[in-house]
Amino acid sequence: MSAPLGDTPDDMAAFADEVHAFLDRAAPRLVDEEGVEWGVGQDRITYFGDETPDEAARHVAAARRWQRTRYEAGFGWITGPSEFGGRGLTAIHDLVYDGIEAQYDVPDTGVLSLIGLGMIGPTILAHGTESAKADYLPAMFSGDIIACQLFSEPSAGSDLANVSTRAVRDGDEWVVNGQKVWTSGAQHSQVGLALCRTNPQEPKHKGITALLVDMDSPGVDVRPLRQMSGGSEFNEVFLTDVRVPDSRRLGEVDGGWRVALTTLMNERASVGTEGAGPAARAISFPFLTALLRANGGLDDSSNRRRLAELMANQLAASYLNRQALDHLIAGGQPGPEASVSKLMYSQNIIQATHFASEVIGPRLLADTGVWGTFSWNELLLSTPALRILGGTEDIMKNILAERVLALPKEPSADSTTPFRELRTSGTGS
């Protein structure tokens, strides 16, 4: 790996040259096209796809190969500590790399990076034992291991602290029993970060412990869930007498909620700053303008006003993400403000997709063979999930109200505080 760099202008220029040199050797450049040539190329527009298991496996294999290539060149974990295979550079170096890599035709590594590298990797670094860090972090960031998030349960989705999966101590091991659901990528993962109830006598936030579960352990059963878009990117995971060494515990016993918050804050930041992910091109100004022109709607002042509103919202989201990045560059950690990015991220895609659906009309539902019409169907079927993934919209709004605006807490079913007191307390604590 190359020697660490500083963050002076000359250092950043040298780093950018290094990135370009690596990518020029490793991948072809994308064609730089001005605007959108309507009707040319692939028109598929999706967020959650309808890949077959074989197709998904091929994409995962390509993602892992590309992550290994980046890692061996010193770009697999740019901000990570060197003792675990990282480069030890800053968040701005990470941003520079991402901006340059976007100019090249490389495999999509979202199955590795969004959850595993973006959320669970930082959590292991913050709370893991030295052996867990050494065993998992280099393997994750080199593409050898994919990680998933075993948080949600059938009866504890939005109320995450209400987990019922049990972990009972047995010597130097924990025996885990329970069920998780909506686990993205579990069918491809080698390790999962699980929240388990370890002390039912404590208040629910205080009786949770976080464990790293090897997904090939006896008793782990992954069952894919079919989405209405046709694919199976989410799963149920059943845990039956699964044994987990205590060395794979993150944080303190019964202190798993603090671990979970680390993951969740990185989740909001990862999801909210993803741009628009696979839908970025479709909801861009050039593409939506071309859509209006192709469907005879560009002269409609109402359409032009709505398009301007969409673009203003996307620009506001980009400025917010830039502000969040500046906070990280200054040494800060993702905070509750990341909930704003997550909200805007999902709302921008949903609003743009609904706008396109109205422009296209019935051809969204019946495939007439016209380019750029029925192809929106798959993205539209994905939008309900955007209101849920990374934290539901209602939960995000509560977080912002209570932790950012310091408004009174919303009364909960298990609250012992009288409703009148909650309404008049005037604090968010």
Q: Which helix (H) or strand (E) element contains residue 276? A: none
What are the structure tokens assigned to 257, written together? Answer: 């909620």
Q: State how far the Cα of 394 lies from the Cα of 402, in Å rounded to an integer.
A: 12
Q: Is 9 helix (H, G, I), strand (E, B) or coil?
A: helix
Q: State how far the Cα of 163 lies from the Cα of 156, in Å rounded to an integer.
A: 6
Q: State how far the Cα of 110 lies from the Cα of 118, in Å rounded to an integer.
A: 10
CB 161 within 8 A of CB 205: yes
Q: Which residue in 317, 361, 339, 201 sits closest to 266, CA to CA?
A: 339
Place of tokens 């673009």: 311
Strand-pairing partners, residue 234, are 225
Reported residue count of the chain is: 429
H/E/C letters for each residue in 121-166?
Answer: HHHHHHHCCHHHHHHHHHHHHCCCCCEEEECCECCECCCHHHCCCE
CB 163 within 8 A of CB 97: no
Q: State how far the Cα of 363 lies from the Cα of 166, in Å rounded to an integer.
A: 49
The residue annotated as part of the active site, out of 101, 267, 274, 337, is 267
Helix residue ranges per DSSP H, 128-273: 130-141, 256-272
378 catalytic per annotation: no
Measure CA 340 to chain center: 15
Q: State how far the Cα of 279 lies from the Cα of 299, in Å rounded to an integer.
A: 25
Q: State how far the Cα of 227 lies from the Cα of 184, in Å rounded to an integer.
A: 12
* The residue type at 393: E
Catalytic annotation, residues: 267
